[in-house]
Amino acid sequence: MAVPSVPPVHPELVPYLTSLPPFADPYADIAATRARFDALLAALPADRSGVRSKRYVLPRPDGSALTVEVYHPDPGAEAGDGAPLPAVLHFHGGGYALGRSLPGEDRTAIALCRGLPAVTVAVEYRLAPEHRYPAGVEDCYLALEWTAAHAAELGIDPERIALHGKSAGGGLTAAVSLMARDRGGPAPVHQSMCIPDLDDRVADEPVPDGTADGPPDPRVNSLRTIRLAWRHYLPEGAFTPERRAPDAYAAPARAADLSGLPPAYVLVCDLDPLRDAGLAYARRLMDAGVPVTVRNVPGAWHGFELYAPETGLAREVTDHWTAHLRAALYGRFEPCGGRAAAG
């Protein structure tokens, strides 16, 4: 039997393979990488209809400032009967080094706020490589504590606070869930992890060969970028030959005990180098007695929605994880009909 020259890509995504950019080290000039990302966001402003937001400055223990943006449905929008709303803490992706949206422009937070509906808190956590672990995850945990403590002021039901993140944000979601359990902090009712980055050991895996002819293998660039992300996120010297394993708040797959964590949703993609670690973490959660919903997307790669946002597959996958988040907060499963975010 002939060996296929390309991975088994979902038929709807095949046309997008040629649009995948060649690999470029985003950390070679991280300031320039972030500037290009900001320029893309500025060129396509978010649709803020039905949503209002306010920025808050939270003091860190060392006296520095953490900024969060809190998104509320506008008065008169679909927001229930006037009772406090559930809340979602949204931890953006971006390899722990970029992905922060422009003020008031977080598309995922806006779409969740409008589509669930929920008060959505977008956390502008510190970024690597300037701020390596544990800076980012401590910021995310601080945001959870602050949200719970200010629930009445924010119009939030403190018993219905969920965590959501994609890629690096999914890893932060898992880590904050562990922190909340271990520190006796506010207990999230749900952890939503899309293509989560959970295990530093992926940085030791060999990079698959790219195809010599035809469309590119989408696994190659993803794994190269993920490896770099871990090497810039963990403390200096973490990848020396004599390195010690990072703790579970850095790499949740390292956690010895997953019992007592909130119910979880785990989304993985077949062509994602993070797939196996995500599935293994989901299985370990199940074995620890945690309710888990798992979704694998055949033929899709890491972050495929960024390249193919209008495809039926991207809309269906987004609606799937969003509907499960809504069910966790409202106790009912109601697909949002494409109103929620792709990120």
pLDDT, residue 81, reads: 61
- 6-15, 73-82, 176-185: least confident range: 73-82
Q: Considering Cα of 220, then 129, then 166, then 205, what sign does the dihedral take?
A: positive
Mean pLDDT of 101-122: 96
Calculate the alpha carbon distances from 167 to 148, 187, 191, 243, 268 in Å: 24, 22, 13, 24, 10
How far apart, in whole angstroms, are the C-alpha atoms of residue 142 and residue 125? Answer: 10
Catalytic residue among 139, 157, 197, 272: 272
pTM surpassing 0.75?
yes
Is the pLDDT at 7 greater than 80, yes or no? no
Q: Does domain 22-330 have CATH number 3.40.50.1820?
A: yes
Helices (H), 69-217: 107-115, 135-149, 151-154, 168-183
Known catalytic residue: 192? no
Q: What percent of the chain has pLDDT over 70?
A: 89
Calculate the alpha carbon distances from 78 to 50, 115, 118, 202, 268 in Å: 9, 8, 10, 42, 31
Burial of 131 (0-12, 13-18, 19+ CB in 10 A): middle
Helix (H, G, I), strand (E, B) or coil at 209: coil
Strands 85-91 and 119-123: parallel
Known catalytic residue: 259? no
Strands 264-269 and 292-297: parallel
pLDDT, residue 6, reads: 45
Q: Which has the closest alpha carbon to 315: 111, 102, 40?
A: 111
- 102-111, 204-213, 232-241: least confident range: 204-213
**In which band, very low, low, confident or very high, does the pLDDT at 5 lie, cut at 50, 70 and 90?**
very low
Q: Which has the closest alpha carbon to 155: 100, 61, 73?
A: 73
Mean pLDDT of 184-209: 91
Is the pLDDT at 79 greater than 50, yes or no? no
Indicate the domain borders of the chain.
Answer: 22-330
Residue range 148-165, pLDDT digits in tens: 999 999 999 999 999 999
Catalytic residue among 167, 177, 192, 222: 167
Is the pLDDT at 211 greater than 80, yes or no? no
Known catalytic residue: 10? no
pLDDT, residue 3, reads: 40
Residue range 254-285, pLDDT digits in tens: 999 999 999 999 999 999 999 999 999 999 99
Q: What percent of the chain has pLDDT over 90?
A: 79
Catalytic residue among 232, 302, 319, 324: 302
Helix (H, G, I), strand (E, B) or coil at 170: helix
- With beta carbons less than 8 A apart as the criterion, state whether 12 and 311 touch: yes
